[in-house]
Amino acid sequence: MRTLLLLLLFWLLCGLMTAETGHSAHAPPTVLSDSLIPPKRLLILHSYHQGLNWTDAIQAGILESLAAGGQRYEVYTEYLDSLRFPQPLQNGFANMRIHLQ
């Protein structure tokens, strides 16, 4: 009976070690390996100002959807409230290349 228990324990340990080794060999890529891919630049333009409930809800939904997609983004957000800002500040992203896809 003792031999049977030792044999069972041996096979159980072998199975656990094989399962653990097999699992780590087929693990998905980590976030670190994804960091080698440069993030896409994304510009979000809102018609109204930050702090307006509707605008803030739209912004939160966009960011939540982007995070769920798995792609890395460098997000820039602008609010088109031209009455409060002078003309030079409206050209902040004029020379920045933005991905349009």
Domain assignment of residue 83, yes or no: yes
Domain assignment of residue 100, yes or no: no
**52 exposure class (CB count in 10 Å sphere: 0-12, 13-18, 19+):** middle
pLDDT tens readout for residues 32-48: 345 678 888 999 998 88
Domain assignment of residue 22, yes or no: no
Domain assignment of residue 78, yes or no: yes
Please state, rounded to an integer, the average pLDDT across all residues of the chain.
71
pLDDT tens readout for residues 42-67: 999 988 888 889 899 999 999 999 99
pLDDT tens readout for residues 74-88: 999 988 876 566 666
Please report the pLDDT score of residue 26 as a whole number. 42
pLDDT at residue 98 is higher than 80: no
Domain assignment of residue 18, yes or no: no
Please report the pLDDT score of residue 81 as a whole number. 77
Domain assignment of residue 7, yes or no: no
Chain center to CA of 15: 35
- What would the two tokens of residue 33 be? 């390996």
Q: How far apart are CA 51 and CA 49, in angstroms?
A: 6
Domain assignment of residue 73, yes or no: yes
Domain count, the chain: 1
Domain assignment of residue 84, yes or no: yes
